[in-house]
Chain A
Amino acid sequence: MTTPTERPEPIPGTHLFDGEAAAKGFEINAMCYSFNDAANRQAFLDDEDGYCAKFKLTPPQRDAVAKRDVLGMIAAGGNIYYLAKLAGIFGLNVQDVGSMQTGLTVPEFKAMLLAQADQIKQLEKANG
């Protein structure tokens, strides 16, 4: 008998893209990978249902894509680097995607990023 390796303490708000996620998410990630081709991006826009069916998205994947639910896509095995290609079709960037996952508005999410410049000031203060 082998015992599974002990899982390290989870990281809050973080979903590691491991083998389990990669296996579960193969279809949605394959579809997103196809969006490297402009003709495929157009084909998705022309017939979203047909395009998702062609890649055999699982029901949770299809549902999350239909709802534009990023956390749902990640829960269904989507990897952010591939999902970013889907977001690009809708003209969304990583701040938009950040806002969709954190419940902040896009201006709030951007302000949160800008505010983190304070970390540098705090460090400088601490180090004299």
Chain B
Amino acid sequence: MAEIVGAYFTSHVPAIGNAIHKGLQQDPYWKPFFDGYPPVQQWLAKTKPDVAVVFYNDHGLNFFLDKMPTFAVGAAPQYDNADEGWGLPLFKSFEGHPALSWHIINNLVEDEFDITTCQKMLVDHALSIPFELVYPDADAWPMKLVPIAINTVQHPLPSAKRCLALGRAVNKALRNWAGDERIVVMGTGGLSHQLDGERAGFINAAYDTFCMDNLSVDPDALTRDSVHEMVRKSGTQGIEVLNWIAARGALGEGPATELHRNYHIPISNTAAATMVMEPGVLVPA
């Protein structure tokens, strides 16, 4: 039977890609951020997942506004990165897991989530940067990918409650998958930031802390605000926390244990965060 080893959450700020490319990990601006990742690397080395189910949002690489799915599940044998228009280095491709993708798709539709399916799908920095951060020396990513894109760009966006429910339905699908894969779930983006408007540069550590404090023990607490109120508290792009909420749902309905957290202001225009959780309550040794 497949095992869900845990969840990894991280910001995916594009500038991180350039910092990695230029080797700035020890630079005073970047160090407090990059220092948050060795514990995640060690946790992954120990838990050795072979599949990642990743909740993220596309930033105008794969999806344009002519067709904008609320939830889209990848079912491709391979996912490539491509030129995003502003000079990021090209990232490595991912191997897909079409059989597991279709299993998730079948289960989600059975559970009345009317998702979009994608047999071809480019993946942008929101997918690549989380992997670059935790496998800095890999020639190829050590696991297969099932990407699940959530629309966080064009309102109306799905509610936090709906994203948590989507994640929980993915968890149900993973638990009844007959394979023996070790699965890590991931949520990328956030935390608070705003790129556009006169309020550009907005950051809200109090709200981010509320989200991080509750995500493991009471994720439903994050679903009580409307998307509009969440944007007020987290910024127009901080709403990417929806990806974290969905990923937390995919970890399962029960309590989870927070193993690691790093939070740093600012990286680029963003309050950058990373967390690791495992399902269940860990009893201290």
Contact = CB atoms under 8 A, between A and B. Distances in A.
A50 B117 CA distance: 37
B265 A116 contact: yes
Contact of A119 (B15, B59, B203): B203
B196 interface: yes
A113 B204 CA distance: 11
Contacts of B237: 80
Nearest to A85: B85
A11 B199 contact: yes
Given A113-B269, A114-B266, A88 B86 contact: yes
Nearest to A33: B64
Given A11-B231, A22-B65, A98 B206 contact: no
Contact of A113 (B85, B197, B201): B201
B236 A116 contact: no
B23 interface: no
A interface, size bucket: 35 or more
Nearest to A20: B155
A37 interface: yes
Contacts of B269: 94-95, 98, 113
Q: Which 7 residue pairs of A and B lie closest in terms of their CB atoms, listed nearest first?
A: A88-B86, A13-B199, A85-B85, A13-B198, A119-B205, A80-B196, A18-B155
Interface of B: 15, 59-61, 64-65, 82-87, 153-156, 194-206, 209, 226, 228-229, 231-232, 236-237, 263-266, 268-269, 271
14 contacts: A13-B198, A13-B202, A14-B194, A14-B232, A15-B197, A79-B65, A81-B59, A82-B60, A97-B200, A98-B195, A102-B198, A109-B200, A112-B201, A120-B205
